[in-house]
Structures are given as structure tokens and as C-alpha cells.
Amino acid sequence: MTSTDSTGALVRAEIDVAALRANAAVLAERLAPARLKCVLKANAYGHGVEIIARGLFAAGWRDFCVATISEGLRLREILGDDATILAWLYGPTTDLDAALAARIELGVSTVDSLDRLRDAAHRTKTTARVHLKADTGLGRNGLAPADWARALERLRALAPHRQRGGSETGDPEKSGPARTGPDESVLSLEVVGLMSHYAVADEPDRVETAQQTQVLESAHRELTAVLDEAQGRLGESDRLEVHIANSPAALTLLPFPGTSARVGLSLYGLSPLEDRDSQDLGLAPVMRLVSQVVNLKDVPGGHGASYGLTFTAQNDTRFALVPGGYGDGIARSASNRAEVSIRGIRYPVVGRIAMDQMIVDVGAGEVAIGDEVVIFGPDGPSAAEWGTWADTINYEIVTRISDRVDRVEIDGRKSQGHESRKTDGEDVESTRGEGAETQ
């Protein structure tokens, strides 16, 4: 039961690429004929963007989403030119040129962004491929109703208009001799998508989801009219991608709204629904967070544990010291409530979880120094349980895992023989018994 790793890491996140690909297949089948857009923001929900992106790409997936432009640029470095990448979160001073040069599609949530993107397209001699984001009721990013109307008017003004001599200009008031500068025969701004985001799709009985869908459908009709009026000079309305659904919507809504869905949490095998777990949804957790026992000590009744001495042993017992604390992203708020698994048995975390370590009360259990400790994963507590113990949600439990934790690629189907693991670009071979590998 000894846990070893050649990198010397004490806490590691094992990332099961087979489970990842299986989850993607399950979700894609449910969504069809709509397309699955894989959300890899926040370091792929803490799972390690390089492992996740390469794993999905190798299985044939090509549509990816992130939040920020820097995440998009990193993803482009990882995947090369054949992936479609969408980002949507940027500010009024963000440099957009690099994003367009890297062919990253961008969400548009302010009217001013249309002009900024068109200018950036001219500078970089590219086409800005944009997804207009309508605020259908969530109240976060996106164009509110009055701004939506202004954005459509601005699109009309930006549509290239034919001039004598066959050249085009983006503003109808700019007539006369053809201008020198950017080649207006190529679209500088192309609307390729309409996007929004549900607020309460994880609560299927709420009426707001249907209301948001109605707002999106109205916005779709209005945007289609503008694109048709522009006669293809702003994009093709019949090729417009429409996406509002997140993981909860992808798992609960029938019929399914839109032409695609941006799925994050469920891709990693976690449930966004309170009354259904991963197994109920046909999904498998992708991350297994593990550590090891590095010290054991017998302590008498009345002995305290960790900072503040918030726990006192009632009887003689044994404490196991386990590396892993809030510096690794493990929630301090789960102190004195969380459990871990050692040799298949649950034991309580006692005292405050510190920056680097935690104390586990193993009592008279058969535990030895070097034993593997499952903090969460398929064979231990779940991320959802840790969410309950920490007064948060499973999204945060996995996303907060810090860069100090090694992400190690595994293939969970290979339960016997030699299993290839990859960490930080290095192949590591580990032996887990004898016998043929199962695929």
C-alpha cells in the first residue's frame, strides 16, 4: 500500500484520461445533434490544462472554451492551429491583437468591443470572429437589452458597403474615393455565434430557465435579421452558432436549446445537480487527489491537534501526518469535518488543516508510514463531499487545487501490468501487479 512517485511529489492529482474521454462521449451523445464545446478555463477546472487538452484533442475533440485571452493563447500553444478556441472575459484595456493573431474567437459583451475588435483586425490583417453575448437574465457579462439594440445598430454601421470601383467600407457615411489602408474586401468582423448563460439550470423546476431561453430566441431572431440584411458581409445567419447551456442544462433540458453547449464540470465527471451524483449521470470523476502518510505517533487522551487546538483526543489514539493543506488548495474550512481514505477505510481529519499538512486520527487502524491517502477520488471521499465539509461546491474543490500539486496523467482502464503515467512532460513507468492490460 506504499505510495511512491519518482518526482518526489507528496501530493499529486492523478488525471484519468480514459474517464475524461468517456465523459465527453456520454455528453456528446446526449447533446446530439448539438455540438459539445469543452470548457478548459481555470487550468481545466484544476485538472491541468495540458493533460486535459491533449487528451481530448487526441480523441478527436476540436471545440474548446476558456474565460480569458491568456488562457486562450496558452491553449493555442498546446493544441496548434487545428482547434477552435473561444474566450470571452477581457477588459477595456486588454490587448486584443494577440488573440486575433492566434485566431481566438471572442465573446462580445459591450458595444465598444465591436469597434476595438474591428480596429485590432485591421492592425493584424485578420478577421475578428465574434460571438455576441446577450444577458438573458444572469446579470453578469453580456449585453443588456438597451445595449443589445445598440450593438445591432453598430453592427449595421460596421457592415462593409459597396462603393464605386468595387471596394467596401465599414461605415455607410464614409463614401467617395476608395481609401488606402486595410483591404476591405475581406471581412474584418464576422459574427459567428450568439451566446448567453443560464442562471438556475441546476434547479430544473425554476421558471427562469424557460424565460432565459425565450430571451435568447428573440435575440437570435434579431441578430439573424441583421446578418441577412448585411447579405453575408457580417457572417452567415444559417451558420450562426447558438449556445447558452452549461453542464446543468446539458444534463437536464429536453429539448436541448441551441446548436452547441459549453460543458465544463460534467466533462470532468462531476455532477452539478444536488440530487444526482456522477454515477447517476453515467460519468466518472477524472481527478484522484492523493497523498501519503509520512509520520505516525501515539498520543494520549487529552492531546490536541494542530493550530488552535480545536480538536482534543478523547482517548489514547494515533495521529497520522498527511502532506496536503490549503497551500495545495485543500479547503481549510473543512477542518474537523473532512475524511480521507487509507487502505479503503475512512478516517477523520482532526484539527485545523494547515498550509502544508493535515492530521488524520487513525486510531487502531492498520496504517503504516508510506501508505497512500486518498483525499478525494473514485475510491475515496468525493469532491462533492469535500464541498459539503467546506461549505462550498465541488466546482471550487477541484478548481482550487494549486500549481504545487503535480498533475499526473493515468489511464484508469489499465488496472494491471505497466501503467504509463506522465507528469511535467516526463514519462514515468509504474508496476501494478502482473497480467495483461485491459483496454
Residue of 41, 133, 268, 347 with catalytic role: 41
Residue 268 annotated to the active site: no
One-letter amino acid at 394 equals: N
Q: For the chain, what is the mean pLDDT?
A: 89
What whole-number distance in Å separates Cα of residue 150 and Cα of residue 11? 51
For residue 436, give the DSSP letter.
Answer: P
Helix extents (H) in 201-342: 208-229, 247-252
What whole-number distance in Å separates Cα of residue 248 and Cα of residue 265? 9
- Tens digits of residue pLDDT in 402-426: 999 999 999 877 643 334 444 444 4
Positive or negative: CA dihedral 263, 205, 280, 253 = negative
Residue 307 annotated to the active site: yes
Taking CA atoms, 180 is separated from 117, 167, 168, 177, 431, in Å, by 20, 10, 11, 9, 67
* CATH architecture, domain 287-404: Beta Barrel (2.40)
- Tens digits of residue pLDDT in 366-384: 999 999 999 999 999 999 9
Confirm if 231 and 224 have CB atoms less than 8 A apart: no
Which pLDDT band holds residue 160 (cuts at 50, 70, 90)?
Answer: confident
In the chain, CATH 2.40.37.10 sits at 287-404
Q: What's residue 256's pLDDT?
A: 83
Helices (H) and strands (E) in the chain, counts: 11, 23
Strand-pair category, 161-162 with 128-133: unpaired
- The three cell numbers of residue 311 are 480538536
Average pLDDT over residues 337-362: 98
Residue at grid coordinates 470548457: 39
- The three cell numbers of residue 131 are 460571438
Which pLDDT band holds residue 314 (cuts at 50, 70, 90)?
Answer: very high
What whole-number distance in Å separates Cα of residue 27 and Cα of residue 283? 9
> Could you write out the DSSP letters of every residue in 380-396?
S--HHHHHHHTTS-HHH
What whole-number distance in Å separates Cα of residue 135 and Cα of residue 241? 17
Which pLDDT band holds residue 159 (cuts at 50, 70, 90)?
Answer: confident
Please report, rounded to a whole number, the percentage of residues in the chain having pLDDT higher than 90. Answer: 83
Helix (H) or strand (E) segment spanning residue 157: helix 145-158
- Fold of the CATH domain 17-272: TIM Barrel (3.20.20)
pTM of this structure: 0.88
In the chain, CATH 3.20.20.10 sits at 17-272
Q: What's residue 415's pLDDT?
A: 44
Average pLDDT over residues 151-162: 86
- How many Cβ atoms sit within 10 Å of the Cβ of residue 340? 26
Residue of 37, 268, 307, 414 with catalytic role: 307
> Could you write out the DSSP letters of every residue in 239-283?
G-EEE-B-HHHHHH-SSPPSSEEEE-GGGGT----TT--TGGGT-
Average pLDDT over residues 224-240: 95
Q: What's residue 414's pLDDT?
A: 60
